[in-house]
Each structure stands twice: as C-alpha cells, then as structure tokens.
C-alpha cells in the first residue's frame, strides 16, 4: 500500500506555507525511500529530493505524473537524474514538460504523483508518493464487512480523504477461496432493500485479498467526493464469482449514515 505524509512548514504571508515535504515510500521489492521538498523560490519553484537505499553504481530518474499513483497517468514534469552515490537532486522548476508555466501554488495543489525510476532499459519504479492535490489529509473512515456466506469471508472497507476531495478506497478480505474472483460494489440504501448499484469498484483474486482504488465519480458519472461517501446512505457488498459455482455475495457492510 502506498501512503503519503506531507509535512507543512511555518506559514508564510497570506497563510500559504513556504514549503511542503512528502515522504517517498519503497515500491515493489526495492530498497529506495526518501523525501521530496517543494518550496518557493524567486526564480520559480525549488524541488529537492533526498533518497536513501540507492545503489551507488546506478542513476535514478525523478518525474511527476498526472493523477494518483494507483491510477497512473502520463509524465508531466521531468525533474532530472539522481546519482546513486549521493541520492540527491535539487532543481528549479519554471514550467511543465509541455512548456506551460507553473507556480508553487499550482504545484502543491497538482493532481499528480511522483515516481523514482532506475535509469535502466526497463525503467523499474523503486519509490514514489502521491503529491499535491492527491495528498492524504488524514481523514479516514473504516467499515466492517461481515460474512454472509458459508465460506466465512469477511474484511474491511476503508475510505481516506485526499486534499482535492477525492477518495482512496481500500478493500481487504480474509478467508478467500482460490477459485474465486472478488468484485466490490457500493449500493444505495440498505441490504433489506432492492439492490441498486451506485459505484462498481475493481476486482481482486484470492491471492491478493485486497484492492485499492481512487473514487471520483459514481457509475452514472456524477461526481462524488470523500465527504459524500462518509455521509452516504448505502452499503458495500463483495461478490465472489467462479466458473463452477457462479456468483454470490460473500461479505457486506453498511457505510456512511447507515454504519453503526
């Protein structure tokens, strides 16, 4: 799971912090972690990266990409190369790769994520973090998913607020069955009512036992934010499906206003 921590320094004039720091977490089986600092500079925006756990014989490329890390998106700002023997990068940013000028305020509110890649043929991602508007605010709601099948599968449904109002959703399930694929849905009302699906999330298998997804809209494409979900009149179901057994609801739980 990729988490992000932002540390806001002392306030500058007008209430805008003079810099923000983001913790860069290890990705995959890598050993690289670190810190990204974005600060004001008279000539533009100062971006500094400090890495730990780098290979002294390698170089790493840092870039900011559009959207959240779990969603992925195109590269919008190449920050430059980081020597493995120092693990440090300090650069002045004035514009994005497309030539559009950017400012400190725009960058710390940008809907993006940072990735650190090895400068190799396969460009392996070794570290990263959600940045700007995708920063997690710390507001989190946890809901229990109770078993409703003989398999005894149960778990949790967690929503976390991003700075831009979007929602990071995490589903975890225990006692999964190897032959099943699991799909999570958010429905209107309560389980006692006729099912009306509002949001269809992704699928996961018995090996993974979990799913992370960014939620920005319902199935009808209407916008829904974290505040809406935290107060939602609805419930969550996890449906297990296999070729031999068909599909069945294996776990469910109330969320928002319906939660106990």
pLDDT given at position 162: 98
User: pLDDT higher for 88 or 15?
Assistant: 88
Average pLDDT, the chain: 93
pLDDT given at position 3: 40
Q: Which residues pair with 48 in a beta bridge?
A: 37, 90
Q: What is the pLDDT of residues 49-83, one digit of tens each?
A: 999 999 999 999 999 999 999 999 999 999 999 99
Q: What is the pLDDT of residues 148-199, one digit of tens each?
A: 998 899 999 999 999 999 999 999 999 999 999 999 999 999 999 999 999 9
In the block, tokens 């179901």 appear at 237
Structure tokens at 3: 């988490």
Q: Is 50 helix (H, G, I), strand (E, B) or coil?
A: strand
Please tell me the CATH superfamily of domain 6-132, with its number: Superoxide dismutase, copper/zinc binding domain (2.60.40.200)
Q: What is the pLDDT of residues 204-244, one digit of tens each?
A: 999 999 999 999 999 999 999 999 999 999 999 999 999 88
pLDDT given at position 17: 57
DSSP class of residue 15? G
> Region 237-260: what's the mean pLDDT?
94
Structure tokens at 248: 């069945």
Domain boundaries, the chain: 6-132, 136-256
Structure tokens at 49: 């990266």
| 230 membership: H or E segment, kind and range | helix 226-230
Which of the four pLDDT bands, split at 50, 70 and 90, describes residue 12? very low
Which of the four pLDDT bands, split at 50, 70 and 90, describes residue 245? confident
Tell me the CATH number for domain 136-256: 2.60.40
């Amino acid at each position: 799971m990729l988490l992000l921590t932002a540390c806001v320094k002392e306030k500058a004039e007008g209430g805008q912090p003079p810099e923000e720091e983001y913790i860069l977490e290890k990705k995959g089986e890598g050993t690289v972690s670190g810190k990204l600092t974005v600060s004001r500079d008279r000539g533009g925006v100062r971006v500094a990266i400090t890495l730990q756990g780098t290979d002294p014989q390698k170089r790493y490329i840092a870039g900011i990409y559009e959207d959240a890390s779990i969603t992925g998106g195109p590269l919008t700002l190449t920050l430059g190369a980081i020597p493995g023997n120092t693990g440090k990068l300090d650069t002045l940013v004035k514009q994005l790769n497309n030539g559009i000028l950017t400012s400190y305020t725009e960058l710390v509110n940008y809907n993006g994520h940072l990735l650190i890649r090895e400068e190799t043929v396969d460009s392996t991602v070794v570290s990263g973090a959600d940045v700007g508007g995708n920063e997690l605010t710390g507001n989190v709601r946890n809901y229990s998913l109770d078993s409703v099948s003989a398999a005894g599968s149960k778990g949790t449904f967690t929503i976390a607020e991003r700075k831009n109002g979007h929602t990071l959703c995490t589903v975890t399930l225990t006692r999964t069955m190897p032959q099943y694929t699991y799909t999570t849905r958010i429905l209107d009302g309560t389980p006692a009512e006729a099912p009306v699906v509002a949001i269809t999330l992704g699928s996961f298998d018995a090996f993974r036992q979990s799913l992370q997804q960014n939620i920005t809209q319902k199935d009808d494409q209407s916008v829904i934010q974290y505040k809406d979900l935290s107060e939602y009149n609805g419930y969550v179901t996890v449906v297990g499906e296999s070729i031999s057994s068909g599909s069945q609801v294996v776990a469910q739980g109330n969320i928002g206003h319906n939660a106990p």
